[in-house]
Amino acid sequence: MRLMTVPMIVVLFGPSAAAQDKSATVPATTQRWQVGVKITAVSGPSIDVMAAAPIPTKWPEQQVEVVDQDVSNNVTRIRYRKIGNGAKQLVVDVARLKQGESAHALFTFAITKSFPKLPKDTAQFQRPQKSLIELREYLATSPYIESSHTKIKKLAPTIVQGDTDWQRVESIYDWVRANVRYVNGELKGALAALEDGTGDCEEMTSLFIALCRANRIPARTVWGPGHCYPEFYLEHPERGGQWFPCQAAGARAFGEMPEKNPILQKGDNFKLPELRKRLRYAQVVLTAANRPGFTQPSVAYICQPRK
């Protein structure tokens, strides 16, 4: 089998550690998104083809329902797989494709997003007092989130301000936004953004997460179509632990965020069965038999809003 990794192609118009606080929310919104793959045998026939791609899944602030599907007759099997604690993938098997032939599996999801509002008693929230197994990965290093690097560990305690843990996290957030200038570009990670002071949503998110983790505050990446942002985790003495979003790049939003686009994944340290290295995003993958007379197909990832 030969493995091909495929970058995400997005058309854009615009179990967690604990439950979210739903005591105060703005009205929920529902959108329909079509997500799936199209596989094409471009230069010759292909056999034993498998494509895996991210799909939206349920979170405390997101409900997901399949409302329509379009699957070509030459698709052999449709299945799903969970990747770590934060991702779900659609897996499409195709036994054989003739040269020029395509196969597709497209699912339309009704995605309802709720938007928990900022809690009034933020001073009550504290960083976790116990080491919970389900939070360990959100305190460790991840690809391009170098929270254990000397420069980040040295900086982390010096930028923290405030009397409460909520204020301390917010001071990290404000420091990143004040010290990293938004410049769209290739992925380079938290350390590079710290060193040169520039980055886009991925770098600003990664640096915020790295500085939180270096201060023993769990944090993780939230992935949507064409964008990402961080979440941090604090505990309330009565309501338990909660994840709170913030907008690292874009309009200031800390502790609440009306992001209407679907959540595709949460987390930034995934292991796919087809790849040896760990990934910050559970990306599209494509495999096909590498045999004489057969070629490697191409795959397009579809992720687009529907009316």
The 10s digit of each residue's pLDDT in 180-223 is 999 999 999 999 999 999 999 999 999 999 999 999 999 999 99
Q: Does residue 14 surpass a pLDDT of 80?
A: no
pLDDT confidence of 21, banded at 50, 70, 90? very low
User: What is the structure's pLDDT at 137?
Assistant: 95
What mean pLDDT comes out for the span 281-292?
Answer: 96
Which amino acid appears at position 306 of this protein? Answer: R
d(CA 184, CA 269) in angstroms, rounded, equals 23
In this predicted structure, which of 9-13, 177-181, 185-189 has the lowest mean pLDDT?
Answer: 9-13
Sequence-separated (6 or more) residues with CB below 8 Å from residue 179: 197
What's the average model confidence in pLDDT over 84-97? 97
Residue pointed to by tokens 């290093």:
141
pLDDT of 26 reads 62
pLDDT > 90 fraction of the chain, expressed in percent and rounded: 85
Distances in Å between the Cα of 104 and the Cα atoms of 5, 49, 142, 198, 307 are 18, 12, 33, 39, 20
Asked whether residue 13 carries a pLDDT value surpassing 80, the answer given is no
> What pLDDT is recorded for position 116?
86
Whole-angstrom Cα distance, residue 104 to residue 146?
Answer: 38
Q: In this structure, which amino acid lies at residue 232?
A: F
According to the model, what pLDDT value does residue 131 have?
77
- Tell me the HSE value of 74 on the side-chain side, using a 13 A CA sphere: 18
- Does the pLDDT value for residue 12 go beyond 60? no
Q: b vs e for 140-173, b when ≥16 Cβ sit within 10 Å of the residue's Cβ?
A: ebbbbbbbebeebbebbeebbeeeebbebbbebb
- Helix intervals (H) in the chain: 150-155, 165-179, 190-196, 201-214
**Furthest CA-CA distance within the chain:** 68
For the four alpha carbons of 241, 247, 253 and 258, in that order, the dihedral sign comes to negative
All structural domains of the chain: 2-115+269-306 (2.60.40), 120-255 (3.10.620.30)
Q: What is the DSSP letter of 296?
A: -
For residue 131, count other CB atoms closer than 10 A to its CB.
9
* Mean pLDDT across 289-298: 96
Q: What is the pLDDT of residue 257?
A: 87
Tell me what pLDDT residue 298 has. Answer: 97
Per-residue tokens: 122: 């933020």
Q: Are 57 and 109 in contact (CB under 8 A)?
A: no
pLDDT tens by residue, 22-35 = 344 567 899 999 99
Q: E-strand spans in the chain?
A: 2-6, 25-40, 46-54, 62-71, 77-83, 87-97, 102-116, 181-182, 198-199, 219-224, 227-236, 240-245, 265-266, 284-288, 298-306
- pTM, 2 dp: 0.89
Residue 258 has a pLDDT of 81
Six token digits for residue 210:
């790295």
- Asked if 65 contacts 109 with a C-beta cutoff of 8 angstroms, the reply is yes
> Between these two residues, 12 and 259, which has the higher pLDDT value?
259
The SS3 assignment for 36 reads: strand
> How does the average pLDDT of the chain come out, rounded?
91
7 vs 116: which has the higher pLDDT: 116
Q: What is the pLDDT of residue 28?
A: 86
3-class secondary structure, 69? strand
Task: Kindly state the average pLDDT of the residues 42-71.
Answer: 97
CA distances from 233 to 61, 138, 174, 240 (A): 15, 9, 17, 10
Instruction: Tokens 């550690």: give the residue.
Output: 17
pLDDT in tens, 245-281: 999 998 999 999 888 899 999 999 999 999 999 999 9
